[in-house]
Every structure is written in structure tokens, then in C-alpha cells.
Amino acid sequence: MSFSIKDSLFCLLQLNAISGFENSVADVMQQEFSRHAKEVWRDRLGNIVARFGSDKTDALRLMIFAHMDEVGFMVRKIEPSGFLRFERVGGPAQITMPGSIVTLAGSNGPITGCIGIKAYHFAKGDERTQSPSIDKLWIDIGAKDKADAERMGIKVGTPVTLYNPPKMLGNDLVCSKALDDRLGCTALLGVADAISETPLDIAVYLVASVQEEFNIRGILPVLQRVKPDLAIGIDITPSCDTPDLDDYSEVRVNQGVGITCLNYHGRGTLAGLITPPRLIQMLETTAGERNIPVQREVAPGVITETGYIQVEQGGIPCASLSIPCRYTHSPAEVASLRDLASCIQLLTALAAMPSAHFPIEPDTGVL
């Protein structure tokens, strides 16, 4: 059966996998990789790795990766009343929490809940307009007391995910929770399908990684076995075509995948990526020769595993491809199937290139 971007993405979006609980997505990724790859393994942390291409020991090793986990919550306390206190896992947008529907992975099966909000009729002053801090919020699963919640399968540590099944909007846009980064995982599956029957000059390792939203370092154990010469990450980036961000940058949905020039943690530059100019040129040249739409991005506040991969093993050249996404880390993220397709096309073209195409030596060029 031929690969379908939409069907594959929708399949992954319906799974729940906060950081540290990625097994549902990992099982699908491992199964799909196994249909195409020469070798597939899952490491002890849960990363899924698939090997394609050249078997030569001296072949250039290209690692392409995307993370499986999504932002969410974890039960911190069960109140005597049966309401649940919770903590964030990753960075779900706090302003969207009150009134959200969530799914809890109870020991007896999934449980639907909602994040409570003070009744509007009795709210006063700022309570009607300001989002309360997380310690003032709770999850309501309909339990009559603590014992009832426990009988339903709730414990301290139960993972909680946002609920919003995927749906199509106009102009090939998708709305769902967890587009960050099931878009990237779908791209990996698309590349796997495209290169599975193609003789490659290089060795390609596709990696579905864990715990990016929690500590951004879950992929690091993979490096010890793969020892990549070059790494390219796939993730989302905020699309700046909405009224609130229209003057911030030129990144837009339906304008192609983004090529990261710079990103770093929004609270400081202790970790981030300045993409080597030679890699930006490689990506843009490859895209241009094949009429694949791309756009450049500078994204403070965005950080991915590349910030840590690049300083491993004597230095690993890294690049990032970013799929524009509206309303990031909310229950209703929005992104484009066209941009996802351009990401798959670009990575597939790169995988088919001879090793001489990849500039992995020290940089001397300019942007």
C-alpha cells in the first residue's frame, strides 16, 4: 500500500504519548520502520532507530530525527474530594489549560477529564480575564471522592494528555493536539517509504526520539551507536502569519518547510543552534534544484536536540528543518500537509545524494 501523508499523520495524532510514555507511538514507528529498513532497534531509553542505505563501514552517516513525545501533564495529588492536582510535563500553554478536555492513562484504561475553571457567574475581577496558575487548577474526572478516583485507575504519576482529535481545515491545514512533533514522525515514515528501494551511497539512520519536550536530551544515547557525521532534526516552528505574530517574521504555513538559521532557548542562549552556513547552502541548493519550497527562519524561544547533539563526539554538524505551526503547545495546533510534503521531499532528495554532496568539514563560508 502506498504511503499516505494524511493517513499516517492522523494515525499518529490519535495516540497519546507525553514525555517518558512514548510507547504507543514507538510501537507504530518500530512496526513501520521494520517494513522498510535493513535494521531497526529500540534502545533502553525508548528511542527507535532504523538503518537504511550503504553497508560500507566508511560510508558517510546521516542521522535524521524527530521526537515522539508531546506536551502534557502528570497527576500530582488526588484530593479527598476526587479532584486531581497536576503538574506540567514539557511546556503546554498555560493560558489554554482552564476548560480543556484531557485524557488520563488510567491503570484500567483511558479516562476522560476536564480541567476545571471557576464558574463564570461567581468569578470576580481578574478571575474572569486572567488564567490562574497551575497550582490553582484541577482535573475533574467525575469521581465522587479519592477512593472512587483510585478505583477508576488513577494514581499519583498517571500521565495526562490534551484531547483534540485531528481534523482538516481549509487549504490543506490540519488542526490537532500533538502536531509537535507527530509532523516530524510522519516525515520520518515518508522518507523511510521513499528510500526503502533506492540504492544509497550513504548510510541513513532515521531516529524517533524520546523526551524532547521534557529535557531535550533523550536522543543522546543514540549517538554512541550511530556515530553520525551529520544530523538533521525535524520539528515545528511558530508560524507568523496570524494577527498576533504577523510582524515578527516571514515564516508562513503553506510556504514550504523552514530551514533554521538560528534558534535558542527563550530564557538565554546557553543552548541552541547556529546552523553552519555550508549546511544552509546545501539544503537550499538541493531544494532549489527540485523546486521544493523552503523558507528561512530565526527562532529564539525554540530549542531542539540539535543544541546538544552538535557538541558531542568532537562536534557533529547539525541542521534543522522546521514545519510552520500555529498555536504551538496548545490543544489546537494548526499546520499544513503541503509543508510536511516539502519536508519529506527535501529529506528524500538528500538521502539519495552521493557522500561528496555533504559538507562536513569546518566552515569557511558566509550566509
Which three cell numbers, joined as nine digits, stand for 184? 516530524
pTM tops 0.85, yes or no: yes
Range 109-132 average pLDDT: 86
Provide φ and ψ at 89, rounded to 5°.
-120, 115
364 pLDDT band, cuts 50/70/90, is low
Report the distance separating Cα 295 and Cα 252, nearest Å: 9
Active-site residue flag, 212:
yes
% of the chain surpassing 90 pLDDT: 83
Give the pLDDT confidence of 202-243 residue by residue, as tens digits: 999 999 999 999 999 999 999 999 999 999 999 999 999 999
Cβ neighbours for 130, distance < 8 A, ≥ 6 positions apart? none
Tell whether residue 329 is among the known ligand binding residues: yes
Report the distance separating Cα 128 and Cα 130, nearest Å: 6
Range 287-297 average pLDDT: 97
Tell whether residue 36 is among the known ligand binding residues: no
Alpha carbons within 13 angstroms on the beta-carbon side of residue 160 total 28
Mean residue pLDDT across the chain: 94
* Residue at grid coordinates 471557576: 118
Residue 252: per-residue pLDDT: 96
Report the distance separating Cα 94 and Cα 361, nearest Å: 43
One domain for residues 193 and 84:
no
Provide φ and ψ at 289, rounded to 5°.
-65, -20
| 255: CATH | 3.40.630.10
Q: Within a domain: residue 266?
A: yes
One domain for residues 117 and 154:
yes
Catalytic residue among 212, 297, 305, 333: 212
- Per the structure, the complete domain to which residue 127 belongs is given by 72-162
Give the pLDDT confidence of 166-185 residue by residue, as tens digits: 999 999 999 999 999 999 99
Residues 212 and 19 sit within 8 Å (Cβ to Cβ): yes
One domain for residues 111 and 57:
no
Residue 186 has pLDDT above 90, yes or no: yes
Closest CA to 233 of 306, 176, 160: 306
Closest CA to 61 of 183, 226, 212, 279: 226
| Helical residues (DSSP H) of 114-205, grouped into ranges | 146-151, 179-195
Tell whether residue 180 is among the known ligand binding residues: yes
Q: Last residue of some domain: 162, 191, 226?
A: 162
Residue 115 has pLDDT above 60, yes or no: yes
Residue 149 has pLDDT above 70, yes or no: yes
One domain for residues 221 and 78:
no
